[in-house]
Amino acid sequence: MRSGLNQSSRFDRWVLTVFGICLAVVFSLPAAEAQAKPTVKFGVITTTKYPITRHQWWGPQMAAEEINAAGGVNIGGVSHDIELIKAEDNELASVTDAANAMEKLLTVDKVAAVTGGLRGEAVLAMMELMADHKTIFISSGSGSKETSEKVAENYDRYKYYFRNTYINTVYMGKIQFALLDITAAKVRQVLGIKIPKVALLIEQAMWGNIQIEVAKKLLPQMGMEIVGVWRPSPHATDVTAELTAIKSAGAHMIFLGMTGPGGPVVSGQWGQLQIPATLSGYNGFGCWEGTWKATGGMCAYEITYDAYAHDVAITPKTIPFMEKYIQKYGEKPLFVSGAYDAVYIWKEAVERAGAIDPDKVVAELEKTDYISTYGRVVFHPKGHQFPHDVIWGPGYVTTVGFQWRDGKQVCVWPNGEALFPALSTDPGWKGLKYPGTQEVQLPPWMVEYWKGKK
């Protein structure tokens, strides 16, 4: 009898155990489902093997972490985490590689949007794939005006393309000429040279062609004389011949245009050789904070521009962003770090649209009015010469001109002065001067050289 009771008791305990397990499983299902938060894929196309381009990954990485920590992207009432997908595209060396990387993002990874891109020729190839697959592409590195001109030529096909940074080559050229203008004023003031002679040192790339064309027309109007044009490779490892020829030509100023890794080579050799001419213009890789160390300080007194400069608060977001970025990555952000803002701009457009449907998102991106870390982002509308390009100018995105001094990027522009009329007649430039802006200084060896000639 007792044996039967024991068996019954064991059976009852077994039933209760099984029942308890079943209840635990049933009641844990909602919790498990709650943990399986949906994600939305966002592509970053870049080549991170260079010091400058790794920032194009760091920016979106930081943005995605912040957005996910704050609850993610609200798509039609459902919160999604952003899953970043990186595509190494080798675009500075191969357009074909870049196109293949973009195709993988769109067809294999099936991302909802893409940011990145640096070389104009590669971005144009990426745009064809973007258009074929109707995927949002917010460029955060290329300056070629041809990309936005494609949107103007065939809006319905290319409307998925936007550029939040950098500004296009037309606007970039205006900044380069503005920097040249304030430097020429200093040459006239310090050295008494009424018509400074200028050498054009522009890399062999599509974007540079228009700069040379405009310079030949504009510089004589600005009271300068062109003494020659030199076109090194974007990947140049030695520009001694070009710099020596520029010195022999009697140039007082060098108008620089380099986007590739050859830029810091120019900076370093210019300083080492003590070429008696100012170096100003655009040096994409030379914007990198590590350029000072890489050149042994030989880039001192070079003038170029970037989205950010040390200790310059362009918007209320700038300094907090820079401080957090430097703490996280150990380097000051660069213009390609603006891919950080590209993720936020896309997020806000998606949330307004209530969907990731590309046509709906395009409509919302066109309404963008966003205070970014580098200025107010508003896109030129359909029908403009450069539709979907970020607007450049006072009250929008200006960028900042800086001069290398004592290892820091010292802001020298905007300097509160009106621009040369051919560059801009916008009255907003007059008085626009960020706190901490200083006057341009001429290289001491240049001053000694030309004063000794008198």
Q: What is the pLDDT of residues 103-159, one digit of tens each?
A: 999 999 999 999 999 988 999 999 999 999 999 999 999 988 999 999 999 999 999
- Write out pLDDT tens, residues 318-360: 999 999 999 999 999 999 999 999 999 999 999 999 999 999 9
Identify whether the C-beta of residue 110 lies closer than 8 Å to the C-beta of residue 41: yes
Asked if pLDDT for residue 29 goes beyond 60, the answer is no
Taken in order 446, 451, 452, 454, the sign of the CA dihedral is positive
| Contacting residues for 436 by C-beta, under 8 A, at least 6 apart | 311, 312, 410, 411
- Cα–Cα distance for residue pair 285/47, rounded to 1 Å: 13
DSSP-derived letter for residue 223 is T
Of 23-37, 169-183, 203-217, where does mean pLDDT reach its minimum?
23-37
Q: Tell me, which fold does domain 170-306+414-453 have in CATH? A: Rossmann fold (3.40.50)
CA 147, 151, 152, 157 torsion-angle sign: positive
Q: Is the peptide bond before 414 cis (omega within 30 degrees of 0)?
A: yes
Residue 435 and residue 313 in contact, taking contact as beta carbons nearer than 8 Å: yes
Flag whether pLDDT at 383 surpasses 70: yes
Contact criterion met (CB below 8 Å) for 257 and 211:
yes
Quickly state the pLDDT bin for 226 (edges 50, 70, 90): very high
pLDDT, position 15: 40
Q: List the chain domain ranges.
A: 39-166+316-378, 170-306+414-453
Q: Per-residue pLDDT averaged across 25-42, rounded?
A: 64
CA-CA distance, 419 to 416, in Å (whole number)?
9
Write down the pLDDT at residue 169.
Answer: 85
What would the two tokens of residue 41 be? 């894929």
Q: At 112, is the secondary structure helix, strand, or coil?
A: coil
Average of pLDDT values for 401-412? 96
* pLDDT of 389 over the 80 cut: yes
Q: With 0.75 as the threshold, say if the pTM is over it.
A: yes
Q: Is residue 430's pLDDT more than 80?
A: yes
Q: Does domain 39-166+316-378 have CATH number 3.40.50.2300?
A: yes
Q: Predicted confidence band at 437 (pLDDT cuts at 50, 70, 90)?
A: very high
Same fold, 39-166+316-378 and 170-306+414-453: yes
Between 332 and 435, the higher pLDDT residue? 332
Give Cα 305 distance to the centre of its chain. Answer: 12
**Under a CB-based contact definition with an 8 Å cutoff, are residues 150 and 142 in contact?**
no
Strand partners, 253: 198, 278
- Which tokens go with 387? 């539709």
How large is the C-alpha radius of gyration of the chain?
27
Strands 408-413 and 400-405 turn out to be antiparallel
- Amino acid letter, residue 82: I
Kindly give the interhelix angle for 206-221 and 169-191, rounded to the nearest 10 degrees: 40
Distance between CA 75 and CA 344 in Å, rounded? 14
Q: How confident is the model at residue 21 (pLDDT cuts 50, 70, 90)?
A: very low
Looking at residue 107, what is its pLDDT?
98
Q: What is the mean pLDDT of the chain?
A: 91
Task: Tell how strand 253-258 and strand 278-283 pair up.
Answer: parallel
- Find where tokens 């008791």 sit: 9
Amino acid 13: pLDDT: 53
pLDDT at position 27? 47
Instruction: Tell me what percent of the residues of the chain surpass a pLDDT of 90.
Output: 82
Report DSSP state, residue 258: E
Between CA 49 and CA 104 the distance in angstroms is 19
Q: What pLDDT score was predicted for residue 166?
A: 87
pLDDT of residue 453: 81
Identify the pLDDT of residue 35: 59
